[in-house]
Structure 1
Amino acid sequence: MPTFRERLVPGVGTLLAVCLLAPATLLVFLPISLPIGIVAAIVLTAGAIAGLVFSAPVILIEQGVLHAGRARIEVAFTGTPEAFRGADAVRARGVELDARAWTLLRGWVDPVLRIPIQDADDPVPYWVVSTRRPAALSAALAAAHTATP
């Protein structure tokens, strides 16, 4: 049973912006055929929304392993995470970001969590992960840390 799970699906604003594909598609296909334009607009918009939702990465802590998208690391190799919001989050994923850091960032998720990596053999100094629930992810990392030998 996972101790933490979050899928980084797009927010309502992003999904509404994607819905603007419908009138644009309709505008392109309108001179050809109205029924084809309506079908194309529905299919393209639904496909774009489905693509964004189903390809959204998952952050998961399970059996002492942190999964963030395709990457994974044992919780024992992580340090105490730092949460950032607002302007601090912009700096953490921008000008203060180490080029060697591993990132899982989504523009529609403002808060980020910086997780230090404490493995001498790993060249990555830390992970920066977008999360809507940084306090819950930090708590789950701490709980998994104490549960691992």
Structure 2
Amino acid sequence: MVAINKKAQRRMCFLCQLRTCNLSKELLCQFYRTVIESVLCTSITVWFCSATQKDKARLQRIVRTAEWILGINLPSLQDLYSSQVRKQAVKITEGPSHPGHSQSELLPSGWRYRSLSAKTSRHENNFFPQAVKLMNTHPGQGPKHTPSALSLCAILNS
């Protein structure tokens, strides 16, 4: 966490320097997304759930500072985590060769995934239970809306 924070802070200096050069907001935003946000998203699906509130607050402070520099609203750290988990979960559910594919089991309705039982909070904060929760809380992006699920439904209905 400390390494990610330091790396992002070092890159924030470049954002400040670019701002003093009177570059357009679009270019500054592009720089933020490619240089700083990519550092924040490095393995975010691994460390986010186990990070302390203090660590998350430090990293969120970087996002808020960038918002102030750019003058626009940026996605929060929680939003970045949610989008990364959703992307990775879709790849896992659509790829039968992935080792975690067997853990993404659809309920009979076909709209939601089966929740994984967790006996400890350590396991509950793991990637797979969190991914299932995220996929089930956003019904518009659920399993029936993915191309592979749509083709499977077409095969079953014919």
So what's the TM-score if we normalise by structure 2?
0.24
So what's the TM-score if we normalise by structure 1?
0.25
Higher relative contact order (CA 8 A, sep 6+): 1
- Larger fraction in strand: 1
